[in-house]
């Protein structure tokens, strides 16, 4: 019974310490803000996904063409629009002047 | 370029309609489940039904000339007892006070069962806990 | 010691509550340290649940019958392995196992993702905490495993039909599956709560969903194998509501696994995916509810317990809450791309999803209808196997066919000409095999013949994919055929691993079709020396053996097996009479033919005092394909799960990318 009591007390103490740990480690933190995705960063992420999708689709089209799943004429019909999509996505992601400064400001604001 | 309406929605709508159609067709033909009847409700019922109840007594051999056993209502204290004549496979769980269900029809006062249709319910494994 | 167990569970309850409240507050007000504190609470909850579980295991191993749970589910002669498995043999223990696996998964999910997706994890923590809170609440307030009593001399023992290796592994495997579906659910809800519109939550939970889905599938196969060998009525699946309880979430998870691929590749079906993951998770809760409350009249009728209403309430909260959240975030979820053609790979995935969900809902209706009927109208109804088998054929056979069509269709748009070229070989093969089977007499079952023909088509299309892929790989970078083959699979693990899994499902279909559509049965009473013919076999009753085992008396009727004039050894079937539990179990005799895959399945239905035996024997063609399919299934899942360095790099670029562009 006493063993159970001791172990129980240790367990309870452990739980309290575990939960308080972040505050014990940094009793006075200058920045307590949770990393937030600003709108600009969300847009960048969405564009990155569009780019990856377009590039992935191109790669798969090439592979399917090589394995014979997609015929020559189907390939010719599909590859043009896909290449344009990929090019558009890459262009949209190109770093523009002031983007990084703007997002940094967004984050800190 | 004119925007085409998304065919995905049409496909989904048509599929839902198709599934419903198949479902309604089936249930109207095969009926929505077979009714299960307690011994006290059996009197007068015609046709094949599933009788559900608790065993009170039995004798005979289901693998030989036939097992005759009596059932009463699972719940409640109705005095009705129905005699069942059954041939076919018999679970080792079968004994007095076990819940059983069996398909068959009432003929001349005896419930004549469909072969191999007797199901004996396993006794409960989980008992309700009272807080200590 | 039970005080420690109870205290540990109370600690879990407290930590889960903290995780919910502090986690939600931290995510709402965007406080980093509070969010980290909530995450730690979830990790701590795993530690405390582990302590509680250790207390129970220790009590089981010690045969401490002062624990009510230990006394009810074990006995002194019970072998140690089964004593430990009694942990999950009863209601309270199985709830504790649920909680243990849940907190374990939650802790792992948090630890693996905390650095990468801080804002997403901030919302995932309260969701996971809420589920843990529910189970901890049940264990502390409603159904505690640590109830005590004055110790009786011996325990009641474990139900003899559970004393089987498959039954040992079946519940933990199922729970790894059920509980595993909580993680993608939590991430989906977390993403909605965090107002994120990207696919991060899918990428983060892809492997979790796969593991849960695989475990759930294997768990069901283990259960089916147990039913086949141990319950021994001659089948492996009876459409019992308890069995359906595991099948429904598995089907929903299968649909989900496929539709997330579409969202990843084309950005479509976002609302559908969230609804699917809610459905899968709700069905796994519903499945636990069905098997734990006494609400069913199935072959396993559990007494009505106190946890039923709580479960039902929790499921309602989960469903209504999730739907409300989805509705509130609907504008964020609108898809940006459209389905371009009804003949495309996206479209076949969509059809596959519709069929899977249709099958899931019809099974759900079959389970719920008797319950609703009784609740509303008072009298009971029974839904038989006929209903389920009908819909299995109506939805399952087209699904089988789609498995062969899908891989052969290109993304976005496929012209009928290129389809025809791809289809020619597998379709021709299938028709040929169909004709041969018809000539061999398979026409006795039309659904069976269709299943076989479609299976041949699918296997043909899978083989074609592997061949074409290897050939293209070899044309590209040379090397031998085996090298090109392994390079092909290594570079496209998800695709080709998926094909292996499809092959396993086809084998499953073949095994099911063979053993249920083309089986033979024969029965009769035999005295010593008498013969029973079944299919091509002749069984001669030779002797009756009786022996004493550790906790039972074993009676076996020994029969000589002969086929086509050749002696094939013996098969023994009979009964075990368990002393402590005072129960008799059915022990069937199975002789598997490794060449044809068929089983000779013998049941000694009744052993009479005069030594005669009533025997029922089946010949089940191809049934062993089902178990073999399980192995191939695991292999395919492993290939799909295998970490891919190239893919990890690509994802790092994508998610690091957005940050890199915005500076340090």
CATH number, domain with residue B71? 2.40.50.140
Same domain, B73 and B18: no
> In chain A, how many domains are there?
2
Nearest-CA neighbor of C573 among C159, C77, C233, C164? C233
DSSP structure class, residue C198: S
Same domain, A8 and A37: no
Residues of C in contact with B33 (CB under 8 A): 369-370, 373, 381-384, 387
Residues of A in contact with C2 (CB under 8 A): 4
Q: How many beta-carbon pairs under 8 angstroms link A with C?
A: 172
CA dist C453 and C437 (Å) reads 9
Nearest CA in chain C to B103: C382
Residues of C in contact with B64 (CB under 8 A): 525
Residues of B in contact with C584 (CB under 8 A): 92
Q: Are B89 and B100 in contact (CB under 8 A)?
A: no
Q: Kindly state whether C642 is in contact with chain B, defined as any CB-CB distance less than 8 angstroms.
A: no
CA dist C328 and C325 (Å) reads 5
Q: How many beta-carbon pairs under 8 angstroms link B with C?
A: 128
Same domain, A22 and A74: no
Same domain, A66 and A80: yes
Same domain, B107 and B56: yes
Name the one residue in this structure whose structure tokens are 């059809």.
C351
Interface test with B, best of C303, C532, C604 (most B CBs within 10 A): C303
Question: How close C405 gets to chain A, by Cα (Å)?
Answer: 12
Residues of A in contact with C476 (CB under 8 A): 66
Q: Let me know if C75 is exposed, middle or buried by CB neighbors in 10 A (0-12, 13-18, 19+).
A: buried
Name the one residue in this structure whose structure tokens are 């050894």.
C569
Question: How close C242 gets to chain B, by Cα (Å)?
Answer: 13
Kindly report the backbone phi and psi dihedral angles of residue C543, in degrees, each rounded to the nearest multiple of 5, phi listed first. Answer: -155, 165
Nearest CA in chain A to C265: A53
pLDDT values of chain A reduced to their tens digit, one per residue, 109 residues: 788 889 989 999 999 999 999 998 888 877 777 776 677 777 888 888 888 888 989 988 998 888 888 888 888 888 898 899 889 888 887 766 556 666 666 655 5
User: Among partner residues C301, C394, C614, which is closest to B99 by beta-carbon distance?
Assistant: C301
Asked if residue B131 has pLDDT above 50, the reply is no
Q: Kindly state whether C378 is in contact with chain B, defined as any CB-CB distance less than 8 angstroms.
A: no
CA dist C346 and C339 (Å) reads 7
- Tell me the three state secondary structure of residue C95: helix
Residue B73 lies in a domain: yes
pLDDT of residue C126: 97
Length of chain A: 109
Q: Which range of residues forms the domain containing residue B99?
A: 36-120
User: Which ranges of chain C have pLDDT less than 70?
Assistant: 294-305, 378-379, 656-664
CB atoms closer than 10 angstroms to residue C393: 15
Same domain, B57 and B115: yes
Same domain, A70 and A17: no
Q: Are the Cβ atoms of A32 and C414 closer than 8 angstroms? A: no
Same domain, B26 and B61: no
Same domain, A90 and A58: yes
CA dist C136 and C142 (Å) reads 10
- List, in sequence order, every beta strand (DSSP E) within C564-622: 566-578, 583-587, 589-592, 599-607, 613-620
**Boundaries of every domain in chain C:** 1-157, 159-394, 415-518, 520-620
Q: Kindly state whether A108 is in contact with chain C, defined as any CB-CB distance less than 8 angstroms.
A: no
Residue B23 lies in a domain: yes
pLDDT of residue B125: 44
Question: How close C451 gets to chain A, by Cα (Å)?
Answer: 26
CA dist A68 and C424 (Å) reads 13
Q: Which of B15-29, B49-63, C405-419, C562-576 comes out lowest in average pLDDT?
A: B15-29
Q: Which range of residues forms the domain containing residue A89?
A: 33-107
Name the one residue in this structure whose structure tokens are 């009964």.
C575
Question: How close C86 gets to chain A, by Cα (Å)?
Answer: 23
pLDDT of residue C231: 83
pLDDT of residue A102: 66
Which residues 480-509 on chain C approach chain B with CB closer than 8 angstroms?
Answer: none
Same domain, B25 and B54: no
Q: Which residues of C399-422 are buried (b: 16+ CB within 10 A; e: fewer)?
A: bbbbbbbbbbbbbbbbbeebbeeb
Q: Across the strands, what pairs with C31?
A: A33
Measured in whole angstroms, the distance separating CA B13 from the mean position of its chain's CA atoms is 35
pLDDT of residue C663: 30
Q: Are the Cβ atoms of B26 and C390 closer than 8 angstroms? A: yes
Q: Are C528 and C55 in contact (CB under 8 A)?
A: no
User: Among partner residues B6, B36, B132, which is closest to C338 by beta-carbon distance?
Assistant: B6
ipTM associated with this complex: 0.87
What pTM was computed for the model?
0.91
Q: Kindly state whether A66 is in contact with chain C, defined as any CB-CB distance less than 8 angstroms.
A: yes
Maximal C-alpha separation, chain B: 83
Q: Kindly state whether C331 is in contact with chain B, defined as any CB-CB distance less than 8 angstroms.
A: no
Dihedral angle sign, alpha carbons of residues C447, C449, C453, C455: positive
Same domain, B66 and B50: yes
Q: Are the Cβ atoms of B132 and C381 closer than 8 angstroms? A: no
> In chain B, how many domains are there?
2
Same domain, B20 and B65: no
pLDDT of residue C47: 96
- List, in sequence order, every beta strand (DSSP E) within C76-231: none
Name the one residue in this structure whose structure tokens are 């006494």.
C294
Question: How close C139 gets to chain A, by Cα (Å)?
Answer: 17
Nearest-CA neighbor of C449 among C369, C365, C510? C510
Chain B and chain A touch, per 3+ beta carbon pairs within 8 A: no
User: And the tokens for C492?
Assistant: 């496209």
Q: Kindly state whether A57 is in contact with chain C, defined as any CB-CB distance less than 8 angstroms.
A: yes
Q: Are the Cβ atoms of C31 and A34 closer than 8 angstroms? A: yes
- Tell me the three state secondary structure of residue C478: coil
pLDDT of residue C381: 78
Which H, E and C letters describe C267-333, residue by residue?
A: CCCHHHHHHHHHHHHHHHHHHHHHHHCCCCCCCECCCCCCHHHHHHHHHHHHHHHHHHHHHHCHHHH
Same domain, A44 and A91: yes
Nearest CA in chain A to C659: A41
- In this structure, the dihedral spanned by the alpha carbons of residues C131, C134, C139 and C142, taken in order and rounded to 10 degrees, is -160
pLDDT, one tens digit per residue, over B94-110 is 889 888 989 999 998 89
Rounded-to-5 percentages of helix, strand, coil across chain C: 65, 10, 20
CA dist A35 and A44 (Å) reads 16
CA dist C41 and C51 (Å) reads 15
Residue C339: C-alpha distances to residues A105, B8, C489 (Å): 39, 6, 29
Which residues 588-607 on chain C approach chain B with CB closer than 8 angstroms?
Answer: 603, 605-606
Measured in whole angstroms, the distance separating CA C65 from the mean position of its chain's CA atoms is 34
Interface test with C, best of A39, A49, A53 (most C CBs within 10 A): A49
Residues of C in contact with B14 (CB under 8 A): none
Same domain, B45 and B14: no
Same domain, B94 and B54: yes
Q: Are the Cβ atoms of B89 and C369 closer than 8 angstroms? A: no
Q: Kindly state whether C338 is in contact with chain B, defined as any CB-CB distance less than 8 angstroms.
A: yes
DSSP structure class, residue C444: G
Which listed CATH number (2.40.160, 1.10.1220, 1.20.120, 1.10.3470) goes with C159-394? 1.20.120
Nearest-CA neighbor of C637 among C190, C180, C23? C180
CB atoms closer than 10 angstroms to residue C376: 7
Q: Which residues of C40-63 are buried (b: 16+ CB within 10 A; e: fewer)?
A: bbbbbbbbbbbbbbebbeebbeeb
Q: Which residue has the higher pLDDT, C48 or B3?
A: C48
Same domain, A11 and A64: no
Nearest-CA neighbor of C580 among C65, C68, C154? C154
Question: How close A71 gets to chain C, by Cα (Å)?
Answer: 6
CA dist C76 and C154 (Å) reads 6
pLDDT, one tens digit per residue, over C305-354 is 678 888 889 999 999 999 999 999 998 888 777 888 888 899 999 999 99
Q: Are the Cβ atoms of C33 and A26 closer than 8 angstroms? A: yes
Q: Are C525 and C613 in contact (CB under 8 A)?
A: yes
CB atoms closer than 10 angstroms to residue C9: 28
pLDDT, one tens digit per residue, over C364-401 is 999 988 888 777 776 677 888 889 999 999 999 999 99
């Amino acid at each position: 019974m006493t063993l159970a009591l001791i172990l129980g007390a240790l367990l309870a103490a452990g739980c309290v310490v575990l939960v308080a740990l972040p505050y014990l480690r940094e009793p006075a933190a200058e920045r307590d803000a949770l990393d937030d995705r600003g709108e600009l960063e969300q847009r960048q992420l969405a564009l990155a996904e569009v780019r990856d999708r377009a590039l992935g689709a191109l790669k798969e089209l090439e592979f399917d063409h090589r394995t014979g799943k997609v015929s020559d004429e189907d390939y010719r019909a599909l590859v043009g629009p896909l290449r344009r999509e990929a090019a558009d996505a890459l262009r949209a992601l190109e770093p523009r002047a002031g983007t990084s400064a703007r997002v940094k400001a967004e984050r800190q604001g | 370029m004119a925007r085409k309406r998304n065919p995905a929605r049409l496909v989904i709508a048509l599929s839902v309609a198709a599934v419903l159609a198949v479902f309604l067709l089936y249930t109207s033909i095969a009926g929505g489940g077979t009714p299960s009847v307690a011994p006290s409700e059996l009197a007068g019922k015609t046709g094949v039904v599933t009788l559900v109840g608790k065993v009170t007594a039995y004798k005979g051999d289901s693998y030989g000339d036939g097992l005759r056993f009596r059932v009463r209502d699972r719940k409640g204290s109705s005095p009705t007892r129905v005699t069942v004549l059954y041939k076919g496979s018999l679970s080792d769980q079968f004994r007095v006070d076990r819940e059983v269900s069996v398909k068959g029809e009432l003929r001349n006062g005896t419930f004549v069962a469909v072969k191999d249709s007797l199901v004996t319910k396993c006794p409960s494994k989980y008992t309700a806990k009272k807080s200590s | 010691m039970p005080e420690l167990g109870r205290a540990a569970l109370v600690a879990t309850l407290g930590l889960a509550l903290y995780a919910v409240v502090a986690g939600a507050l931290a995510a709402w007000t965007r406080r980093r340290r509070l969010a980290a504190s909530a995450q730690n609470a979830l990790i701590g909850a795993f530690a405390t649940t582990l302590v509680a579980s250790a207390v129970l295991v220790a009590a089981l191993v010690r045969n401490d019958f002062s624990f009510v749970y230990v006394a009810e589910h074990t006995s002194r002669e019970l072998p140690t392995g089964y004593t430990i498995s009694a942990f999950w043999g009863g209601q309270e223990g199985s709830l504790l196992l649920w909680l243990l696996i849940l907190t374990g998964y939650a802790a792992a999910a948090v630890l693996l993702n905390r650095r990468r997706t801080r804002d997403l994890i901030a919302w995932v923590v309260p969701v996971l905490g809420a589920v843990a809170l529910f189970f901890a609440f049940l264990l502390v307030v409603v159904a505690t495993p640590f109830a005590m009593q004055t110790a009786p001399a011996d325990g009641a023992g474990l139900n003899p039909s559970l004393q089987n290796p498959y039954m040992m592994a079946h519940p933990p495997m199922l729970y790894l599956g059920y509980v595993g579906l909580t993680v993608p659910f939590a991430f989906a809800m977390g993403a909605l709560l965090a107002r994120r519109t990207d696919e991060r939550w899918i990428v983060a939970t892809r492997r979790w969903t796969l593991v849960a889905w695989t475990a759930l599938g294997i768990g069901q196969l283990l259960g089916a194998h147990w039913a086949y060998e141990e319950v021994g009525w001659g089948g492996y699946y009876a459409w019992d509501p308890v069995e359906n309880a595991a099948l429904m979430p598995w089907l929903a998870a299968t649909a989900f696994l496929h539709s997330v691929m579409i969202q990843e590749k084309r950005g479509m079906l976002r609302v559908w995916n969230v609804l699917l993951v809610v459905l899968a998770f709700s069905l796994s809760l519903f499945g636990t509810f069905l098997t734990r409350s006494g609400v069913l009249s199935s072959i396993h009728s559990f007494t009505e317990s106190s946890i039923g209403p709580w479960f039902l309430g929790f499921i309602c909260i989960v469903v209504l809450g999730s739907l409300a959240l989805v509705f509130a975030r609907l504008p964020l979820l609108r898809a940006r791309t459209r389905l371009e053609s009804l003949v495309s790979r996206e479209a076949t995935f969509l059809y596959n999803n519709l069929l899977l969900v249709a099958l899931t809902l019809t099974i759900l209706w079959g389970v719920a209808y008797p319950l609703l009927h009784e609740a509303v109208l008072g009298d009971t109804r029974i839904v038989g196997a006929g209903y389920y088998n009908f819909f299995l054929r109506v939805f399952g056979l087209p699904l089988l066919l789609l498995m062969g069509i899908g891989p052969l269709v290109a993304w976005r748009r496929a012209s009928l000409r290129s389809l025809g070229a791809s289809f020619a070989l597998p379709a021709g093969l299938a028709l040929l095999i169909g004709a041969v089977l018809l000539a061999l007499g398979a026409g006795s079952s039309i659904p069976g013949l269709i299943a076989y023909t479609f299976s041949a088509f699918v296997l043909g299309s899978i083989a074609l994919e592997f061949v074409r892929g290897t050939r293209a790989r070899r044309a590209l970078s040379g090397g031998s055929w085996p090298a090109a083959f392994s390079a092909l699979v290594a570079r496209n693990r998800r695709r080709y691993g998926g094909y292996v899994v499809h092959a396993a499902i086809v084998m499953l279909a073949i095994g099911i079709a063979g053993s249920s559509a083309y089986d033979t049965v024969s029965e009769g009473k035999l005295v010593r020396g008498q013969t029973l013919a079944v299919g091509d076999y002749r069984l001669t009753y030779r002797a009756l053996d009786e022996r004493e085992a550790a906790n039972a008396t074993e009676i076996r009727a020994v029969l000589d097996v002969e086929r086509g004039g050749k002696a094939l050894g013996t098969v023994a079937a009979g009964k075990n009479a368990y002393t402590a539990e005072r129960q008799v179990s059915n022990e069937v005799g199975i002789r598997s033919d490794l060449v044809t895959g068929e089983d000779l399945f013998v049941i000694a239905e009744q052993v009479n005092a005069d030594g005669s035996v009533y025997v029922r024997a089946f010949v089940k063609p191809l049934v062993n394909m089902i178990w073999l399919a399980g192995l191939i299934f695991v292999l395919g899942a492993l290939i799909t799960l295998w970490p891919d360095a190239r893919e990890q790099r690509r994802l790092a670029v994508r998610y690091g990318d957005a940050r890199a562009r915005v500076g340090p």
